Structure 1
Amino acid sequence: MELSDISLNDFHLIRGRQAANEDISFVIHFDTSFYVTHFVLGDTLNTSKQNPWAPSLNTYRLYYQDRDQSESGYIGKNQQYNFFEMAFRKSFLDGLVEEDELLADKLFSRFGKEEYRNAPASPIIPDMYSCLGAMDSKVFTGPLQQLYLETKARELLLLQIQTLMKTESAVSTLKPADIDCLHEAKHYIERNYRRPCSIIDLAKIVGINQTKLKRGFKELFGTTVFGYVRDLQMERAKQLLLEEGLYVSEVADQVGYNHPQHFTVAFKRKFGVLPSELKNS
């Protein structure tokens, strides 16, 4: 496991990458209790009997990690998992919501789930991705860089709180059966994003009509069907460029683009840089 841990006032910023050349089970023990927001930024993990809680790409979870509760995990052969998380002390969260009792109740209720596997997953929205990307930038040095990271961390958490409030205030018209179909559609996309099918075909595959698929997917996951396909393609492309050293045309083909120039435009729109620039950085 590769970890980068930045310690700031009352919280930590952690980027990690787990990879395995063989099946590995592991257990993590903690010295301190803390509140966590965990972002899944890239993975090739598959749900299995050994790993029934395999995370979904482009989602985040809020949960409470008790120091007396260890965390177990599993990574299969040739699989990998990239993540970012913020770990807070209670004093940090108290400082954000101390004057709003209703918001504090909602926030701590959402954090009330113990362990990652028990916490509900929410989609990472574009503003969150922008914030996560900004925290990779070394804009300043010394104390100013620390202040910059603290500011971005607060911004990222506030985006999650804002999303939480919007979600709880919205009245959903989705039935349980519809939600099951939409999750099935999401999992199908994750397995087949390199060669995506049409909305018509996807609706038939998961057993839901086109209108419910389009509207329900947006409501449930915070993005469109094709927006989610593009996100998966771009995240995989970024991984291939940085870790596999492939040519841009090869990456374009592997993530489902017939024309490298169309891939280049989509990549620049997503990350703000050309794929060739990222490859050579």
Structure 2
Amino acid sequence: MQSLPSLPFPEFTYQLEEVTRIFSREETSGPEIRYDELKIGHARMLWYKYTADREYHIPMRLGQERVEMHFKLQGRSGVSYEDQHLIMTANQQSIFYQRELEGEYILFPGEESAFFEIEIPRPVFDSLIMEDSLFLRDFSRQLQTPRHHLWPGYSMHITPQMHFIIAQMRDTTYTGQMKKLFLEAKMIELFLLQVNGYDQELQHKVSLRKQETDALYAAKAYIEQHFAEDCSILFLAMQVGINQKKLKEGFRVLFGHTIFGYVSHVRMEKAKQLLLDEHKTVGEVADIVGYRHQQHFTTAFRKKYGILPRTLKQ
């Protein structure tokens, strides 16, 4: 009898912790807030409701690394950090990554606002990544860059099925271990619905004929063979016989990289191989993979792998 694959969540020790907090306007000198929080070890679910008499900007500081599944169920709210602003309205859902994020939440006056979110640790998210998902492949690639935070801008409508699952999670009558297993299963189901929706959106953005698909694979092969030479979009489009717009859009959909991003990726992988396997200096490696200035190569290498080229050699 074939055993069922285990869910990624049980690799952690989970204890159910449930908390409900209610703050009146008199207590907070601000909006009336209610939130129901449920923790299962490292994972956290939060149902949040508020009513505000005016617009509030609440400071936030997030140090830990996490991926969040966010569902705006009613009303509107927003978040602001650095030069980025995101306002989510009712019936919108999003997936984003956060680390060392400092900014502010924005609460708007009017009708009651409500959202639901699931925060999961990075190792759990990494265990859910599937190579056959265009969205997850692209999202995972972006996480490799050493940025402090990432809000890729993915936002879509919440489907009726998602609403139903969220209601099931909130209203379940299970307790103890059965509740833990039920919520884990529903988290996975909700995650897959989000991913499937984003995959379909990416696929619909670019409609490719077979001739165009063949040209895109030819462009990819050319980059892998000539990464140290001219791999500009204009040159590649002429080389494989496809217009620049279709080349840029189609390449990202098929391979999860921009043209520039893939050229850089191939260069860095070749550089890593040369540094590890052959007796070459950092300057020689930089020249081989197409960098005129060693300093630019060192910066790109550190951005990709988090260490300096000379450190890898040592």
In the alignment, is the contact (CA less than 8 A) between 2:65 and 2:122 conserved in 1?
Answer: no
In the alignment, is the contact (CA less than 8 A) between 2:129 and 2:140 conserved in 1?
Answer: no
How far the C-alpha of 1:52 sits from its partner, in A, is 6.6
Name the CA distance, whole Å, in 1 between partners of 2:105 and 2:56: 8
Distance 1:108 1:99, change over 3 A: closer
Name the CA distance, whole Å, in 2 between partners of 1:32 and 1:52: 21
- 1:82 maps onto 2:145 in alignment: no
Within-5 A mapping of 1:1-281: 1-43=33-75, 53-66=86-99, 68-97=100-129, 104-109=136-141, 114=149, 119-171=153-205
Secondary structure of 2:188 counterpart: helix
How far the C-alpha of 1:27 sits from its partner, in A, is 1.1
In the alignment, is the contact (CA less than 8 A) between 1:128 and 1:159 conserved in 2?
Answer: yes
Deviations 1:15-37 (A, max 9, x none): 11132123321112224121111
Name the CA distance, whole Å, in 2 between partners of 1:14 and 1:110: 26
RMSD after superposition: 3.2
Distance 1:110 1:81, change over 3 A: farther
Deviations 1:160-200 (A, max 9, x none): 11112222122468xxxxxxxxxxxxxxxxxxxxxxxxxxx
How far the C-alpha of 1:2 sits from its partner, in A, is 2.2
In the alignment, is the contact (CA less than 8 A) between 2:63 and 2:101 conserved in 1?
Answer: no
In the alignment, is the contact (CA less than 8 A) between 2:56 and 2:107 conserved in 1?
Answer: yes
Higher RCO structure (Cα 8 Å, ≥6 apart): 1
The answer for the alignment partner of 1:218 in structure 2 is none
Name the CA distance, whole Å, in 2 between partners of 1:79 and 1:101: 38
Distance 1:78 1:141, change over 3 A: same
Name the CA distance, whole Å, in 2 between partners of 1:99 and 1:172: 19
Distance 1:79 1:18, change over 3 A: same
Name the CA distance, whole Å, in 1 between partners of 2:156 and 2:130: 25
Structure 1: which 5+ runs fail to align? 174-281
Deviations 1:180-227 (A, max 9, x none): xxxxxxxxxxxxxxxxxxxxxxxxxxxxxxxxxxxxxxxxxxxxxxxx
One-letter amino acid matched to 2:198: L
Secondary structure of 1:145 counterpart: helix
In the alignment, is the contact (CA less than 8 A) between 1:35 and 1:65 conserved in 2?
Answer: yes
The answer for the alignment partner of 2:230 in structure 1 is none
Distance 1:171 1:10, change over 3 A: same
Name the CA distance, whole Å, in 1 between partners of 2:170 and 2:126: 26
How far the C-alpha of 1:152 sits from its partner, in A, is 0.3
Identical positions, percent: 18
How far the C-alpha of 1:71 sits from its partner, in A, is 3.4
In the alignment, is the contact (CA less than 8 A) between 2:68 and 2:119 conserved in 1?
Answer: yes
One-letter amino acid matched to 1:63: F
In the alignment, is the contact (CA less than 8 A) between 1:26 and 1:73 conserved in 2?
Answer: yes
How far the C-alpha of 1:104 sits from its partner, in A, is 4.3
Name the CA distance, whole Å, in 2 between partners of 1:94 and 1:45: 29
In the alignment, is the contact (CA less than 8 A) between 1:4 and 1:14 conserved in 2?
Answer: yes
Distance 1:14 1:162, change over 3 A: same
Distance 1:99 1:139, change over 3 A: farther
Name the CA distance, whole Å, in 1 between partners of 2:150 and 2:182: 29
Name the CA distance, whole Å, in 1 between partners of 2:177 and 2:164: 22
One-letter amino acid matched to 2:93: Y
Structure 2: which 5+ runs fail to align? 1-32, 79-83, 208-314
Name the CA distance, whole Å, in 1 between partners of 2:204 and 2:108: 38
Larger Rg: 2
Name the CA distance, whole Å, in 2 between partners of 1:152 and 1:107: 22
TM-score, with structure 2 as normaliser: 0.47
